[in-house]
Structures are given as C-alpha cells and as structure tokens.
Structure 1
C-alpha cells in the first residue's frame, strides 16, 4: 500500500510539473541598435527593420536568447518564461537583456492581441485608447497570421476588431483580411465594424469586390452612403 501511495504521489508531482511547463509562451524583445540585428530564441531566428522582435509558440520555459549585430554576438542570456504569458524584454549595452514585464496571453479565454510597439523612451505600459497608429506592414502581417489561426470566424472577427481598436489600416489591408472569411455575413459584419479604422475611407467602396452576392454589396453601399452623409 505504501508503495502504491508513493507511486501515486510521484505521478501527481510529474503531472503538476508537466502542466507548469507546457502551454503557450511568447517572448517579445526590443533591441535599439543601428545595423543588422538578428535575434535567436534557441534555434528560432528573427530579423526586424524596426528593432522589435516577436516570438510565438515557444516550447521551452528557459530558452537562450542571443542577439547578433552585424553578424557578431552582442548578448546572450537564458530567460525564464511562464506558460500562457507574454514576456516583454529589452536590451541595452549597460544592462544587457532584461525582462520589462509579463502579460497574460489570454483574457477571459480569448487571445489578447499584441499592441506592443516598444517601451524604451516611452512610458511603460500599454498605450491609452486615445493613441492611434497606422499599422505598419510587419504588424499587419502578424495580425493576418494570428487572425487566420482562429478556426471560428466569429473569434477571428473579435481578434481583428481588438487590433483595430487602437490602429488604422488601409482599404487594401482590410480586403486581405476579409478574404480569409468564407461566410458573406461575417465579411459584412467585419467590413462595417472596421470602417472607422480605415485610413483611406475614400477607397472603402473597393470592399464591395470581396462579396459574391448582390444583397451584401448593396447593404455595404448603403452603409457607406449613411456614414459619408450622402
């Protein structure tokens, strides 16, 4: 009996240990250096022209981060990552690689879309809702990838709307997002909710080309007419 209890205790401990090390882990790092910067997290490599590096779906809880500048090693360190958390790191020549903050990846069961745009030189924390940025190509590509991963279109709409709450996009970018949807009603819903976040509203009529059925096209044209006050 004692042996059975011991085996059960060992199995429980192993189960708890496994649950604490699995789960999605993300790591974002800012490297304010001039030149060709490449960041490795273990064997995964990312380059960025904006000095902001985003790593998703990291398996290790204690990966090695290596920063290369012009093909020379600038810094190397192991970092501790928490399952279901996004770790924000920064690098400086004086302090090396440091953890700035950790943020939960999920909010009430929904993916918390990244709106991080760097921390150095800014007040730490997420920007207020009054701050609006036009989404650059790298950020838009990430939004497109993250949204497309959602299996259900209603969840995809929520992800996109969360991003557009603080960012502006172009009509062409919205067209690209709408093409990931199969259902016309979902396309129409997203097109309407995204209208206020479109930087070039004069081109918004082009969205009608995404729709197959005449009824949705006419609905959207009526919506545009109402919003433009014509």
Structure 2
C-alpha cells in the first residue's frame, strides 16, 4: 500500500464515528494489499477500543511486508496486555508454519 493510499485510508477511518464502522473499511482495504508495520500501526491508532486494535493487528499482521518491524504494532496499543495478546497470537501463527 503506497503512502498516499495509507493516508487516504486513515482519512476514511477518521471520518467514521465508531469502530464497528471503521473495521470493515480497514479490512476491505487490507484484504488485497500489503502494508508496512508502521502504516498498520497508524491505522490501529484510528480505532478507539483495544479489542478493535487487536483485531485489526491480527488481521493485518499477515499482510505486513516488513515483518521484522511487527514490534511497532505494540506502540498502537494503550495497554501492555493487548501487546502481549498480539505477541501470543504471532507466536502461534509462526508455529503453524
């Protein structure tokens, strides 16, 4: 996803009032795209709730091109427990492959 595409998506998410409206937009955009970890973190920061951020992180993590930077997603969470849940999820995903 180009920087311009990410900016456009961030703006589209910002125009929505609720996470329930933001999530389908983000997932649709990511479904056929690849994204950098830093940009996924930007998208996560547009969400209001930790559960939504975690859901988007899980959904988008498989589409991250610079996987060595997945740690950057941790900065998008408000609570460290959410970052821990993401790390557990990523570890499980690695064990499957």
TM-score normalised by structure 1 residue count = 0.40
Structure 1 unaligned residues grouped into runs of 5+: 1-134
**Aligned counterpart in structure 1 of residue 65 of structure 2, from 172, 187, 199:** 199
The corresponding residue for 1:110 is none
The corresponding residue for 1:219 is 85
State the 1:191 CA deviation. 0.5
Q: Structure 2 vs 1, CA of residues 228 and 202 (structure 1 numbering), >3 Å: closer, same or farther?
A: farther
State the 1:229 CA deviation. 2.1
The structure that is strand-richer by fraction is 1
1:179 aligns with 2:45: yes
Number of matched residues?
A: 96
The corresponding residue for 1:145 is 11
Q: Distance in 2 between matches of 1:148 and 1:227?
A: 30
Higher relative contact order structure (alpha carbons within 8 Å, sequence separation ≥ 6):
2
TM-score normalised by structure 2 residue count = 0.89
Aligned to 2:89, what secondary structure does the other structure show? helix
Alignment of 1:158-173 (within 5 A): 158-173=24-39
Q: In 2, are the aligned partners of 1:171 and 1:203 still within 8 Å (CA)?
A: yes
Q: Distance in 2 between matches of 1:205 and 1:229?
A: 18
State the 1:212 CA deviation. 2.3
Aligned to 1:168, what secondary structure does the other structure show? coil
The corresponding residue for 1:157 is 23
State the 1:179 CA deviation. 1.1
Q: In 2, are the aligned partners of 1:205 and 1:224 still within 8 Å (CA)?
A: no
Aligned to 1:212, what secondary structure does the other structure show? coil
Q: In 1, are the aligned partners of 2:42 and 2:76 still within 8 Å (CA)?
A: no
1:208 aligns with 2:74: yes
Bigger Rg over Cα: 1
State the 1:206 CA deviation. 1.9
Aligned to 2:85, what secondary structure does the other structure show? helix
